[in-house]
Chain A
Amino acid sequence: MRVMVFVKATEDSEKGLPPTEDMTEMFEAMGKFNEELVNAGVMVDGDGLKPSSAGKRIAFDGPNRAVIDGPFAETRELVAGYWIWEVKDMDEAVAWAKRCPNPMPGPSELEIRPFYEMEDFGDALTPELAEREQQLRDRLSGQ
C-alpha cells in the first residue's frame, strides 16, 4: 500500500531554515534515515516545504474566491514536508515512522495517511472523468 507521511510544522519550522550548524546535523541524521528507507525499497518520493509565510490560501464560498496570504496561524496543522512510502501495511509504516529522527528541534509530529486506490472509487470514476483527469495530468507534466 502507498502512504503519505506528513512532517507537521512547528514554530521552529515556520521560522524558516535553522542555523547552518543545526541544519547540517539534521540533514545528516535525516539523510541516513532516508538512505535506510531507500535501501529497504520503501521510499518512493519525498520533499520539504517552505514555511507558510511563503504560501497562499484560496478560500471558496459558493462562487466567491478569496486569496489569503501566509503565514497561517494554526501551526500544528501545517505541513513542513512529506514522504511517499510503499509498505505492506500500516503496522510497517508506523514501525518506519518511529525510527525517523525527530525532524524538528522541539516536539514534533508525523502523520501517516494511506492513499485512495483506484478500486476505492469503483464506478464513480467514469471514463469521461478519467479522461479529463488525464488531460489535467498531461498539462501538469507539460507534455
Chain B
Amino acid sequence: MATDETRGQIRDQAHRAIEAIFRIERARLIAALARMTRDVDRAEELAQEALLIALTEWPKSGVPDRPGAWLTAAAKRRLIDGVRHDAMRSRKQAEIGRELDEEQDMRVEAAEAAFDDPLGDELLGLIFAACHPVISPEARAALTLRLVGGLTVEEIARAFLSNEATIAARITRAKKAIAKAGAQFEVPRGAELAARLGSVLEVVYLIFNEGYAATAGPSLVRPPLCAEAQRLARILAGLMPEQPEVLGLLALVEIQASRLTARAGPDGGFVPLTEQNRARWDQLLIRRGLNALNRAEALGGAGGPYALQAALAACHARARTAEATDWRRIAALYDRLGQVMPSPVVELNRAVAHSMAFGPEAGLRLVDEIADGAMLRNYAPLPAARGDFLLRAGRRDEARTAFEAAAALTGNERERDFLLERAAACSE
C-alpha cells in the first residue's frame, strides 16, 4: 500500500539521519567509554547498543540537542545495568558496580559535562591507544581505521586488499595487545608524548601512502584511504595545533593529495610528477598544505622529517610548470632530510635533485657514493637514475649498460619495457 511505502521511506530517511549523527559521534563516544571501561571491545559494543536505543527513541522524541551527550548517557546506563545484572564474578567488577551505582542518578546534564570535552582529550587518548607502539604499524592502521575512522572490517579489508578474517584477527590481536600493555586511553604527557606521537603520525602516513602509492592491486591510487588519512591528520592538527610535526604531516598529506587525480593517466598508468597536468592539481588542498607548512615552520618545526618532506612537496606545488621547479632548493632540502632521516632512498632522491640543480656530474658523484653501500645493491631505481645521469652527461655506452642493469633488476614488466627502451635509445 502506498501509505505503508511512504511510511517506510520516512522511516528509512529517519534511520539514515540518525546513523549519520551516530557516525559523527561514534569515535568520541567510544573514546569516552573506553576511558571508563578500559576495554575497547566493551566500548564498541556499548556504543552500538546506544545507537540501537537512539534508533528506537529518536524517531518518537526527536533528535536531542546534544546527541553526543545523549548517546554517552544511554551507553553508560547500559554499562551500569550490565554490571549490575552480572553475577559478581570478581571483586574488580563489584568495585566497578559500586562506583557506578553512586553515579546512577547522574542526569543528562552531568553526562553532558563529562562529554563536554572541548580539548578533544578523550578522542586523542583513543587515537594514542590505537596507535600504541606495542602493536605493528599495520595493526595500528587497521585499529585506527576501525575505531576512529569508523570503517567496517569489510571496508578495511577491501582497502588493504586483504580478507575480512585476516583483518578481524589483526584487530582482535591489537586490542588484546593494548589491553595487556595497560593502555590508559589518556594522552601521554611530556617526554612520553614526543615519543608516542611518532607512532601516531607514522600510522596516518602509512594509511595515506597505502592509498597514494598502492603497493598492490589493479589501481594505482585508492583515494578513499587518502581521504581517511587526511581526515585523521586534520583531526590531529585541530586537537594538537601547537605540535609542528603534526602540522608538517598535515601539510605533506594535503599537498600530496592535491595531485591524486593527476597521478594516474587515462590508461590508469602512473604519470610522473614532471609530466602531470598541473591544471588537475587541487589548488584548495595546496593552499591548505602551504598554510599548515607555514604554521609548522613558525612553530620552529622546519627541520622535522615531515615538515621537510612537506617543504619538498611544496616546491613542486609552487612551480607553475615542471621547468619552473626550484631544484636548488629541493637539493638543499634533501641535504637536510638526509641528515634527520638518513636512508638510502632519500640519498638516491638527493642525487636526482642535485643532478637537476647542478648537472648530471653532481648526481653521478652522489649516486656512486650510495652504490658502494650494500643496501641498494638490487634496487632498480639506482642504476636507472645512474643511466639517466650518464646519458645526460653524453656517456651513452655506460648509460646503456646502466639501463640494462636496471631492467634486469625490476620485477615490474611495464617498468622493464620502459628501461629497455631507454637502453636501446642510447645506441641511436
Contacts and interface: CB of A to CB of B under 8 A. Distances in A.
Contact of A127 (B24, B120, B277): B277
B280 A91 contact: no
B136 interface: no
Given A38-B238, A84-B284, A137 B279 contact: yes
Contacts of A39: 120, 123, 235, 238-239
Contact of B277 (A41, A99, A130): A130
Given A86-B227, A127-B277, A134-B279, A41 B24 contact: no
Nearest to B119: A39
A117 B284 CA distance: 13
Contacts of B261: 117-119
B230 A95 contact: no
Interface string B296-325: 000000000000000000000010100000
A49 B161 CA distance: 46
Q: Which of B67, B233, B234, B279 has the most CB of A within 10 A?
A: B279
B20 interface: yes
A41 B235 contact: yes
B279 A131 contact: yes
A89 B238 CA distance: 21
A64 interface: no
Interface string A109-143: 00000000111000000010011011001100101
B19 A91 contact: yes
Interface in B218-257: 227, 230-235, 238-239
Chief secondary structure at chain B's binding surface: helix
Contacts of B67: 99
Contacts of A35: 118, 238
Interface string B259-285: 001000000000000000111100110
A86 B233 CA distance: 13
Given A137-B283, A143-B318, A95 B277 contact: no
Given A39-B238, A41-B232, A95-B21, A138 B320 contact: yes
Contact of B279 (A99, A119, A130): A130
Contacts of A118: 261, 280
Contact of B23 (A41, A92, A134, A141): A92
B392 interface: no
Interface residues of B, number: 31
A44 B320 CA distance: 23
B16 A92 contact: no
B24 A134 contact: no
A72 interface: no
A89 B21 CA distance: 12
B24 A96 contact: yes
Given A39-B235, A133-B279, A44 B284 contact: yes
A41 B279 CA distance: 26
B396 interface: no
A88 interface: yes
Interface of B: 16-17, 19-21, 23-24, 63, 67, 118, 120, 123, 227, 230-235, 238-239, 261, 277-280, 283-284, 288, 318, 320
Given A41-B230, A41-B232, 17 more contacts: A35-B238, A40-B24, A40-B235, A40-B238, A41-B231, A41-B235, A44-B288, A45-B284, A86-B231, A88-B23, A91-B16, A94-B20, A117-B261, A127-B277, A133-B279, A137-B279, A141-B283
